[in-house]
Each structure stands twice: as C-alpha cells, then as structure tokens.
Amino acid sequence: MRKVCIQVEQSLGERLRQLLIEEELLDIEFPITKKNDLLFFPLRYEIPESQLSKFTHISKELKLVEKELEPFNRKPPDLVTALEGKLPVPLIESIPHSLDIIGEIAVVELDTPVTPYESVIGEAIMEVNSRVTTVYVKEGGITGIRRIRPLRLIAGKAQATTIHTEYGVQLAIDVTQTYFSPRLGTEHDRVTGLIQPNEVLVDMFTGVGPFALLAANRQPVTVYAIDINNQAIKCLEKSLTLNRLTGRIIPLVGDVRNIVQERLVGVADRVIMNLPHDAFSYLDVAAIATKKRGGTIHFYGITSQTQSLEMLSAEVLAQLTNQGYKATIQKSRIVRPSAPHENQVVLDLQVIPE
C-alpha cells in the first residue's frame, strides 16, 4: 500500500528515528526501507511539508515521499487470538491449550466439537508458531509393539520426518512411524545427568534414542540401544551421523528379551526401561542385564486412581525380590500426566543379586 515517508540520508537516520518515535509519528507496523544512501521512514499519517521544519536541525534535505510498502506480518501472541473471528465463540474453550512441537511438526489433540474447524486450527497453529510447517492431529492412542500413534495431516506440508533438537543433540524423527515425546525432555536430561564416565547402559526400549543420544553426547559411555521398531532404529542411525558424540551407541533391532538373554546378560551399570504400560513384565530382563555387582534400573510405569505410586513401588520391589535381587528405591517421582487420572512415573532402583 502507499505510505507517506520521510526521506533522509542514512548517516542521519538514527537521530530522525528517535525524534519520530518521540513525536509518535513513526508507523512501526511498516518497515524502514533503504535505497542507495537514503532511508525512508513510514509515517502514521500524512503531514504537511511545513511540519518538516521541526526536524530541520537534523537535515535541511528532508523530503516527504510516497513509497509502496507492505506491513510487517506480525504473528498473534497465542492460539486464542489467532482464532478470534474464525471459530464460533462457544468453541473457543474447546481449542487445544497444549501441543507437541517436534522439529517443524506440530502434533495436536482436538476435542470432537472443533473437528469441523481442524484445518483452520492447523493454520492458526502455524501462524502462532513460525517454525512449524506441518500440523498433524492425533487419531488415537499409541498402539502395538512398535509404539505408533495414528496421525492425520490437517495443515501445512505433507512431511513426517524432521530433526528435533533437545539439549544440543539432534534427533531424526518420523512422527508417523516412531514414538517420541518432547514432553520427556526434562526426564531425558535428569537421567543422563546421573550417568558416570565409562558406564555401560542398556536402553531397553530406545525408540529414536533420546536417552542414548544424550548420554553418549555427555559422557564416554557405551549404550546398547534396543527397539523392535526397525524404523525407530533407522532414525537413531541417522542421528548418529548428525552428532559428534563422546560415547558409543550400538543400535540393535529386535525383541529386547531375546537380545538381552543372548548377548547382554550382566553387562550393564544402568538399564533404562521407558515402556510405562508394559515395563513390569520386563523387570526380569532388566535385572539380568545388570552387572554381577548390581546396577541401576530406571523403571517407568503408570499410576492411576486404583494404583498409587506407593502400590506400584511395592509391587516392583516384590517382583525383584522374587527374582533373587535386593532392590532399593533411590528416587521416585511423577514424570508427567499421561491421561485423565493417570501419571507416568519413574522409580530409580538400585539392584544387587542376593
């Protein structure tokens, strides 16, 4: 659009800019442009030539000129603001208040009332989050041994692969073929911060390898990273080419029970069991992977209204005792809510064969 601007020599531009701000004349919705050695300051409204006289102490060469300018594309501060006037007012309460941003991809969960407006919501998510170029909506829970959640594209580019950065480590991820939650970043950081140099780790359900990669980035360790999902291991292998690691990661595809029993009995100083709904049934595998002198197990589980953290802790300790191990809980904590009335929790266990 056509905007009236004040033309000034570039060397005097900053002095004029400050005065225009003081006079509340500078239109900050439009860019200051440059041509050769001249700057053009857009004005909020047209002024007469005579009004330039108050700026002549800066330069007697000031001119009023018209320029064709486009306003800045200022993004809205939040999703509610971005959707004002685009959704019926009663539905504003049903728009998502949180979403997962994985690299350039956003994954969102929508309540049924707003699904007719999913593409509008997807476009608004990209408007608010300038680095997001693709938006998927969740179409169900995480299912199967490969831990895949069904997703459907609702806005942006049709891409499923991205590079996500977590604590300085680059993670290659395919959101449609692998499991990854950016909400576990704090837990990845916490656990890998406990690891000592030269430890041997068994990451039993590694997925795309966030625990393994952060550990090997921070310490000279050896990590056996296991997953039955070959696409997850392919992502991990790609991540190995993206990062210069201090430690070593050995990716292994297959059933964790078979792999541990065949080649990893008694090797681990530390075992990570991030499979909250099913980890209990693999406690025996985690225990035999630890060294003869014992080791640490990071056990992830789910608590609910019918099973408290104390109840889960007692069951885990009893199970390890039955398997011939003396176990103590060094730390227990809620990691995050995982569903209504459910929490993902972690038990940091010290186990020693009796």
Q: Which domains, and CATH codes, for the chain? A: 2-68 (3.30.70.2580), 79-159 (3.30.300.110), 176-353 (3.40.50.150)
| Phi, psi angle pair for 166, to nearest 5° | -135, 115
Q: Are 251 and 231 in contact (CB under 8 A)?
A: no
- CA 71 vs. chain centroid, Å, equals 31
CA distance 290 to 258: 15
pLDDT of residue 1: 85
Question: Three-state DSSP class for 286?
Answer: helix
Helical axes 185-192 vs 210-218, angle rounded to 10°: 40
pLDDT of residue 96: 83
Low-confidence ranges of the chain (pLDDT < 50): none
Cβ atoms < 10 Å from Cβ of 255:
13
pLDDT of residue 184: 95
Q: Name 68's bridge partners.
A: 2
pLDDT of residue 54: 84
Which secondary structure element, helix H or strand E, spans residue 318, and what is its range?
helix 309-322
pLDDT of residue 98: 75
CA distance 84 to 307: 42
Residues whose CB falls within 8 Å of the CB of residue 62, separated by 6 or more in sequence, listed in order: 6, 7, 8, 16, 52, 55, 56
What region, left, alpha or beta, does residue 140 occupy, with left being phi > 0 and alpha being psi -120 to 50 degrees? left
Q: Are 203 and 251 in contact (CB under 8 A)?
A: no
Question: Three-state DSSP class for 243?
Answer: coil
| Phi, psi angle pair for 285, to nearest 5° | -70, -45
CA distance 83 to 52: 42
Instruction: Give 49-104 pLDDT, tens digit per residue.
Output: 888 888 888 888 899 999 999 888 778 888 998 998 899 988 988 888 779 999 99
Distances (CA, A) of 279 to 129, 148, 181, 212, 345: 35, 17, 17, 18, 12
CA distance 205 to 8: 64
pLDDT of residue 53: 86
